[in-house]
Amino acid sequence: MSHTPLDLSHIAVRDKAEILAQALPYIRKFHGKTMVIKYGGNAMTDPALQAAFAEDVVLLKLVGINPIVVHGGGPQIDEALARIGKKGTFIQGMRVTDAETMGVVEWVLAGEVQQDIVGLINHAGGKAVGLTGRDGGLVRARKMKLLDKDDPTKEYDVGQVGEIDSIDPAVVKALQDDAFIPVISPIGFGEHNESYNINADLVASKLAEVLKAEKLLMLTNISGVLDKQGQLLTDLTSRRIDELVADGTISGGMLPKLAGAIDAAKCGVNAVHIIDDRVPHVLLLEILTDQAFGTMIRAR
């Protein structure tokens, strides 16, 4: 797949120099630091945004920052299930994953989706390597116990959906140190070698914790966390998030995303950013400028 490089011909030379000069303090500050990027939403399906994402990741690596990509693929899994005549079932937002569905999840995430991302990054001049949680014993998992949100004595069986037992980041560190960009599918393995489908937000959050990443950046197809008036909240602490959950401002799919983000912030990740993946080159804008393109979460 070819794409047109970012056209900067309309920007005056002096302005280009100013842009680069403004990025320099951030490049210096984050040189050698690890950034975990959860890749999903529109940025995974829109060709122009895909190309911009890949360029951003490569540029970060070239200036000495260590990006790690963790990807989702819910819509792609739904499409693949539809092709074999199987309809996805969800309980409290969790995909019920029987053995047949798990097989589809593995070939879609670890095959189709992951290899697309690896190809995009390599085409943009990087050296990406695809991993699943099995590679190097990266993500050990167990079957998730899903309790009813209203009646905690009631438990649902959602099949091969996993919770993370532990993460061994040795393979990721080895790749990073060798100039590669790891691209990770959120599939873990259990004690009997069974596969588990794990929420990609949780894998990204836990990996950022274990690696003590400088930042966890979660690309999502909204502008960030909004207040009840629809205004963007650019800076949140875990305490403020608790208040927003209690009064119903934050609900639905944002809850698991924020739970992982808060855990990561509390466990040593300096900042978690939930950013709008519909903005071209949003990674560079968020990391290398002082402009906010989403919500930043800190432990306190």
Domains of the chain: 31-298 (3.40.1160.10)
Q: Does the annotation place 74 within a ligand binding site? A: yes
Whether residue 299 contacts residue 265, with contact meaning beta carbons closer than 8 Å, is answered with yes
Q: Does the annotation place 95 within a ligand binding site? A: yes
State pTM to two decimals. 0.90
pLDDT of residue 4: 45
Low-confidence stretches of the chain (pLDDT beneath 50):
1-4
pLDDT of residue 3: 45
pLDDT of residue 221: 83
- Of 260, 285, 274, 230, nearest to 26 by C-alpha is 285
Strands (E), the chain: 34-39, 66-71, 90-91, 94-95, 128-132, 139-143, 146-147, 155-156, 162-167, 181-185, 187-189, 195-197, 215-220, 235-237, 271-276, 294-298
Strands (E), 158-252: 162-167, 181-185, 187-189, 195-197, 215-220, 235-237
pLDDT of residue 262: 82
Strand, coil or helix: 97: strand
Tokens of 256: 């698991």
Q: What is the DSSP letter of 110?
A: I
Strand, coil or helix: 16: helix
